[in-house]
């Protein structure tokens, strides 16, 4: 899939920005801007290339074979855009989340709600009883995960590595937020501070854990997207739906949900603005595909789906 360099830089920056916000998933943004499948498949081939290099057989040929399948025109600018966004907005976004939590949650609630239709559209077909069961099961799982109260812990080295493994898994799954899971185990603020202050020791441990987590998770996701694309997209729809719980604007610090109060109409406007941004992004992406002659994300995936939910 060919995309412009500036466009992919912007897509990466958007993913990087939302990964600093608890409750918003970078995987959701990747789905919305149409590069989720390419990123997962590319990451899978990078992992396979490393494995072939270490274990063989035909180390050199295997390495070249898998690296040739990586969508470098997408991956490189997206990664650069993510890194630039993380380094420049981690501090300001953290400040906004702390000082305007209700307004920010409302904004992102609208964005994620408007995004739910993306994996549902990519799933294709109707919503029969079995498909609804998949969506409901994934939604309940996400709802339970994001209902866990946050904690505060000292950032021990082993904990940082394990937390990064969990966070990168969430990065790869739309609906689950790596930042939110870091907040749950008490490492959200230490991680943002390490990025803002360039704490290389902490960041080295974090990237080690992220790399390990990616190796474990990405191959499974790659297999699911190729073999069971429809059921995977239905499950991702449910994950995004259940994870909306964490973005409900009115809640206590222990994540107890409250009824709308105060200037609720301001939060409603913020949610509407967030939804409008996503709708605009989807419209621009669709128009770009039409102008350049590229097919829909479903067609570009080129996946034969043998699962029984078709």
* C-alpha to C-alpha distances, 105 to 21, 90, 163, 247, nearest whole angstrom: 9, 17, 23, 5
CA angle 181, 190, 86 (to 5 degrees): 80
Contact in structure between 44 and 219 (CB atoms under 8 Å): yes
Reported as a single tens digit per residue, the pLDDT across 236-273 is 888 888 878 878 899 887 778 888 888 889 999 999 99
The residue segments making up the domain with residue 130 are 5-301
pLDDT at position 228 is 86
- Residue 70's SS3 state is coil
Q: Is residue 310, in this structure, part of any structural domain at all?
A: no
> Band of the pLDDT at 292, cuts 50, 70, 90?
low
Mean pLDDT, rounded, for 8-25: 80
Among 18, 9, 196, 183, residue whose Cα is nearest residue 90: 196
pLDDT in tens, 186-217: 677 788 788 878 889 999 999 999 888 877 77
> Does 175 score more than 90 pLDDT?
no
Asked if the structure places residue 287 within a domain, the reply is: yes
What is the band of 3 on the pLDDT scale with cuts at 50, 70, 90?
low
Q: Which of 61-65, 67-71, 126-130 has the highest mean pLDDT?
A: 67-71
Asked, for residue 309, whether it belongs to a domain, the answer is: no
What residues contact residue 222 under an 8 Å CB cut-off, 6+ apart?
A: 40, 41, 43, 44
DSSP for 114-182, written as a single string: HHTHHHHHHH-S---HHHHHHHHHHHHHHHHHTTSPP------HHHHHHHHHHHHHHHTSTT--HHHHH
**What is residue 293's three-state secondary structure?**
coil
CA–CA dist 68, 58 (Å, integer) = 15
Do 24 and 18 meet the contact criterion of CB atoms below 8 Å apart? yes
Closest CA to 181 of 193, 163, 203: 163
Worst-scoring range by mean pLDDT, 124-133, 168-177, 278-287?
Answer: 168-177
Distance of CA 22 to the CA centre of its chain: 12
The pLDDT assigned to 300 comes to: 43
Nearest alpha-carbon partner for 139 in 40, 237, 67, 54:
237
Average pLDDT over residues 82-102: 81
Span 150-179, average pLDDT: 73
181 found inside a domain: yes
Q: Which of 247, 201, 217 is nearest to 101 (CA)?
A: 247
- Number of structural domains the chain divides into: 1
In a domain, 307, yes or no: no
Q: How confident is the model at residue 303 (pLDDT cuts 50, 70, 90)?
A: very low
What's the mean pLDDT when you consider all of the chain?
79
Rounded-to-integer distance, Cα 268 and Cα 249, Å:
10
Q: Collapsing DSSP states into helix, strand and coil, what is residue 251?
A: strand
Domain-located, residue 306: no
E strands in 179-289: none
Cα 132 to the chain's mean position, in Å? 22
Q: What is the pLDDT of residues 31-47, one digit of tens each?
A: 778 888 888 888 888 88
Assigned domain for 68 exists: yes
Q: Is residue 308 part of a domain?
A: no
CA pair distance 44, 222, nearest whole angstrom: 6
Structural contact between residues 238 and 128, judged by C-beta atoms closer than 8 angstroms: no
CA 163 to chain centre: 16
- Number of residues in the chain: 310
């Amino acid at each position: 899939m060919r995309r412009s360099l500036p466009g992919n830089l912007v897509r990466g920056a958007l993913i990087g920005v939302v990964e600093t916000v608890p409750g918003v998933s970078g995987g959701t943004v990747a789905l919305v801007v149409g590069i989720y499948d390419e990123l997962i498949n590319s990451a899978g081939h990078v992992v396979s290339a490393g494995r072939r290099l270490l274990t063989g057989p035909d180390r050199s040929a295997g390495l070249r074979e898998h690296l040739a399948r990586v969508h470098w025109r997408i991956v490189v600018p997206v990664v650069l855009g993510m890194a630039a966004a993380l380094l420049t907005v981690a501090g300001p976004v953290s400040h906004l989340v702390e000082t305007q939590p209700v307004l920010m949650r409302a904004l992102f609630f609208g964005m994620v709600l408007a995004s739910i239709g993306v994996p549902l559209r990519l799933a294709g077909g109707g919503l029969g009883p079995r498909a609804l069961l998949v969506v409901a099961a994934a939604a309940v799982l996400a709802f339970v995960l994001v209902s866990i109260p946050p904690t505060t812990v000292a950032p021990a080295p082993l904990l940082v590595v394990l937390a990064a493994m969990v966070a990168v898994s969430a990065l790869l799954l739309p609906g689950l937020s790596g930042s939110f899971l870091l907040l749950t185990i008490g490492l959200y603020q230490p991680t943002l501070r390490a990025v803002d202050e360039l704490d290389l020791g902490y960041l080295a441990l974090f990237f080690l854990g992220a790399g390990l987590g990616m190796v474990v998770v990405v191959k499974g996701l790659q297999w699911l997207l190729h073999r069971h694309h429809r059921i995977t997209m239905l499950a991702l729809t449910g994950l995004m739906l259940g994870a909306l719980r964490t973005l409900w604007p009115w809640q206590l610090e222990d994540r107890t949900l409250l009824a709308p109060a105060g200037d609720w109409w301001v939060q409603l406007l913020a949610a509407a603005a967030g939804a409008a941004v996503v709708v605009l992004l989807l419209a621009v992406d669709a128009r770009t595909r039409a102008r350049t002659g590229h097919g829909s994300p479903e067609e570009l995936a080129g996946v034969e789906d043998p699962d029984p939910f078709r």
